[in-house]
Structure 1
Amino acid sequence: MQNEAEPTVLLTQGWCRSSYSALRGLAQNGVRVVVSDTSRIGMCQASRLAHARGRYASPYADPEGFVTDVTGLCERHGIGLILPGHEEGELLVAAREAGRLPPGVALPMVDAATLALVNDKDRMSRLAREWGVAVATIVDYSNPAEAGRVSDPAREYVARARRGNSSKGVRFSKGGEALAQTLAEMMAAFDLDPARPPIVQERVEGDGWGVSCLYWHGERIASFTHRRLQEKVATGGTSTLRVSAAHPAMEADAHRLLGGLKWHGLAMLEFKHDPATGRHAFIEVNPRLWGSIDLSLSAGVNFPWLLYLAQTRGPAVARAHFRPARQGVVARWLLGDVIRRLDLARRGRLGSALRLADGARADSFDDAKWDDPLVLFGEGLYYLAKGLRTHSMNPLEAGMVR
């Protein structure tokens, strides 16, 4: 049971897996967690582990209302620490710097300027290159027509909006005129600012990897690495199957970047690794909870609890509680695997969609927990309601891609 003097945590974006993993990691150590979201349904909302539940306005549609609602939840529940579940953390950092958060409420995240830097895929990729970290070749251009002229029609490219959400805002294209057309369509579809065109890079083949870290005012407390085995859709994005692994060179690059940024809080850095060449390339930083965080808990690295310890008892205590992860632990996102199979069927790959055995036996599931069975129901109900409302399993909300 939690000591009454220890702070209660407010967890936002309560519907999703990453927030549920944070709830689980904290509640199992006796921390009171108030879960919040725009919706009444979701994983955390259905969990027996939640201390209380609250709602707020959409951070995309009504950012001012969102901050007001979160402030109210903090005051109502005596919150001592806010743990953002997704991009809404940027609004909360701005509110903190404007003095709008209630006194005594901690928000363990970097300053707004650093957050804006890492959230800009173009700026962050160029900074990584400047600091000696390998990145895929960047195409320098000022408008779609110029990108078409300077790119190679025989090569494959990836265009990504500077701010995106999972696979949203990502397009693949050959160079030349095809790339120019892809960029023009992207900028029109997402109403992108011409002064902030998408970052275009040569496509890198290989496996997706992630290096997840907790830093405290520039000092590393914990680190964990995983390799993706499957992704929700064929074109990439969120992983549905992954394994804990080690990659010292990649980890060194991740630590170089976060150390150089004087990072504070949680982050997951994405890389691509080409087994044929042994080379890897930095992709982006996710400066928040990440979708695959349940694997780190299953492998022995409880990032939410370590963050809580660093905030409440000091970084030395958190560092003393960290133990290196167990290697070879496999985690699967059950509902995501269903969505992956539906995507394969939609693409005409019915045999792959119906194949039950995929060569990997999961040690744990992100969303199926025998001791908290309603979370899978809450997740499924959320996706069903979202699908019926938007006719999509991965809908785009205004402001997500920019």
Structure 2
Amino acid sequence: MYTADSTPKALAGCSKYSQKYLQYPDPISDTQAFVAWLLEAIQRYHITFLMPVTEISSRTLLENRQQFSHCKLPFAPLEQVMRLSDKSQLNKLAESLGVPVPQTLYFNASSEVNLDQVVFPCVIKPALSKVNVDNQWFTTQVHIVQSRDELQTLLTDTPYLHDHPFMLQQYIEGYGAGAFCYYQNGHAKAFFAHQRLREKPPSGGVSVLSASAALAPKPKDYATRLLDAANWHGVAMVEFKVGLDGTPYLMEINTRLWGSLQLAIDAGVDFPSLLYRGEFEPIPDSQPPYKEGVQLRWLLGDLDNLYLTLKDSKTSIGAKVRHIFQFCLPKFGDRRHEVNRLDDMGPFWFELKRYLGG
């Protein structure tokens, strides 16, 4: 197995399972240089299967798929991917299928917005999280907006809102939930779900401690409706916000592998293996059940969570003491570590060196 990134060294490249690490031109700044490099690397190293893991690398490969026809790429065609990745298209698809979505106004440019129609707080959500302009990628951003003046400033000062589609959505108060799926040629093959136990920052963000959990019926039903309608192929993470009334509102669909992937593998759903096998052979409809309650901990991220909690002046002394105890309390059996694995410590030493500023 070969691993590659745009930096001289990377976490995955330090694993004992990486036969060779390669550095490629950054597709963010020059997609064509990246494509040319990849074509040469495929020929040199006799590569037959590609598994991009970032949105930009995935989109770039899909947009140039005809040049990689001799390699397996575990994705649906670009048109199907964009139907789910484009949040405006996805929202309209969900509405047509009876999948709950926040109240939404659609715009092609900021000049179309009538501020008198907007109810606050609201969410500005660009249709695409990554935009390719003149062979370079730009990242858009979702904003929670509290007032008319704040919205007017964002519409004026955010260049990609001037000429790229976006939505203004009702703000949903609640918690996040996700359905992780694998489909083969339009047929559901595997599902997974997890629960976030601690995040960085503590108020909500990247998961630093999570646990495998049962997938609730409604999110599974809504995810299935959407992916069936898209005749999906490959993996997908369908994200919901569960409102105070218990309704799961669709937020977005991530059409590539996700950050908490290792938890699914540890619990019994090996999505990378399914992606690979699914390009060469039929996958049985009935996958073995995964184990619930398996925990995954990102140790250095959890350390940041502890630091931010202790630093927060709004957190009581008692809560801080409990947090220290929970952080230090060992858990044996069903807890795994995301990076510091005793049988493959290379990635952890690389991460620790960067964490300490080395």
The Cα of 1:315 is off from its aligned counterpart by: 2.0
Given candidates 148, 151, 166, the residue that maps to 1:176 is 148
> SS of the residue aligned with 1:326?
coil
Q: Which residue of 2 aligns with 1:328?
A: 293
Q: Which residue of 2 aligns with 1:282?
A: 250
The Cα of 1:175 is off from its aligned counterpart by: 4.0
**Distance (Å, rounded) in 2 between the aligned partners of 1:345 and 1:201:** 35
Deviation by residue 1:24-44 (Cα, 9 ceiling, x = unmatched): xxxxxxxxx111111132221
Name the amino acid aligned to 1:89: S
How many residues get paired?
340
Name the amino acid aligned to 1:176: R
1:198 aligns with 2:151: no
**Distance (Å, rounded) in 1 between the aligned partners of 2:140 and 2:311:** 18
With over 3 angstroms needed to count, the CA separation of the structure-2 counterparts of 1:293 and 1:169, relative to structure 1, is: same
With over 3 angstroms needed to count, the CA separation of the structure-2 counterparts of 1:272 and 1:112, relative to structure 1, is: same
Query: Please, what TM-score do these two structures have when normalized by structure 2?
Result: 0.85
Bigger mean CA offset, 129-138 vs 232-241: 232-241
With over 3 angstroms needed to count, the CA separation of the structure-2 counterparts of 1:69 and 1:124, relative to structure 1, is: same
Q: 1:159 touches 1:200 (CA, 8 Å); kept in 2?
A: yes
Given candidates 163, 166, 174, the residue that maps to 2:128 is 163
The Cα of 1:220 is off from its aligned counterpart by: 1.2
**Distance (Å, rounded) in 2 between the aligned partners of 1:75 and 1:382:** 33
> SS of the residue aligned with 1:364?
strand
> SS of the residue aligned with 1:192?
helix
Q: Which residue of 2 aligns with 1:367?
A: 339
Q: Which residue of 1 aligns with 2:118?
A: 151
Query: Please, what TM-score do these two structures have when normalized by structure 1?
Result: 0.76
With over 3 angstroms needed to count, the CA separation of the structure-2 counterparts of 1:175 and 1:304, relative to structure 1, is: same
> SS of the residue aligned with 1:81?
coil
The Cα of 1:82 is off from its aligned counterpart by: 0.4
With over 3 angstroms needed to count, the CA separation of the structure-2 counterparts of 1:122 and 1:353, relative to structure 1, is: farther
**Distance (Å, rounded) in 2 between the aligned partners of 1:358 and 1:139:** 44
Deviation by residue 1:286-333 (Cα, 9 ceiling, x = unmatched): 110100111101111111112212222x123x546x312212222222
Deviation by residue 1:218-270 (Cα, 9 ceiling, x = unmatched): 11111111222333235644322222222011111111111110111111111
1:190-229 superposed matches below 5 A: 191-229=159-197
Given candidates 67, 73, 77, the residue that maps to 1:100 is 67
Q: Which residue of 1 aligns with 2:273?
A: 305
> SS of the residue aligned with 2:162?
coil
With over 3 angstroms needed to count, the CA separation of the structure-2 counterparts of 1:102 and 1:149, relative to structure 1, is: same
Deviation by residue 1:35-70 (Cα, 9 ceiling, x = unmatched): 111113222111111122211111111101111112
> SS of the residue aligned with 1:72?
helix
1:73 aligns with 2:41: yes
Aligned residues with identical type, % of pairs: 27
Name the amino acid aligned to 2:206: T
**Distance (Å, rounded) in 2 between the aligned partners of 1:219 and 1:193:** 36
Q: 1:208 touches 1:272 (CA, 8 Å); kept in 2?
A: yes
With over 3 angstroms needed to count, the CA separation of the structure-2 counterparts of 1:383 and 1:41, relative to structure 1, is: farther
Which stretches in structure 2 are left out of the alignment for 5+ residues?
131-138
Q: Which residue of 2 aligns with 1:376?
A: 348
> SS of the residue aligned with 1:169?
coil
1:139 aligns with 2:105: yes
1:211-290 superposed matches below 5 A: 211-233=179-201, 236-245=204-213, 246-274=215-243, 276-290=244-258
The Cα of 1:134 is off from its aligned counterpart by: 0.6
RMSD (Å), alpha carbons: 2.8
> SS of the residue aligned with 2:82?
helix
With over 3 angstroms needed to count, the CA separation of the structure-2 counterparts of 1:353 and 1:107, relative to structure 1, is: farther
1:37 aligns with 2:9: no
**Distance (Å, rounded) in 1 between the aligned partners of 2:299 and 2:320:** 14
Given candidates 124, 130, 140, the residue that maps to 2:96 is 130
**Distance (Å, rounded) in 1 between the aligned partners of 2:60 and 2:140:** 20
Q: 2:267 touches 2:291 (CA, 8 Å); kept in 1?
A: yes
Q: 2:155 touches 2:161 (CA, 8 Å); kept in 1?
A: no
Deviation by residue 1:328-383 (Cα, 9 ceiling, x = unmatched): 22222223223444555776557677832458957122222111112122234456
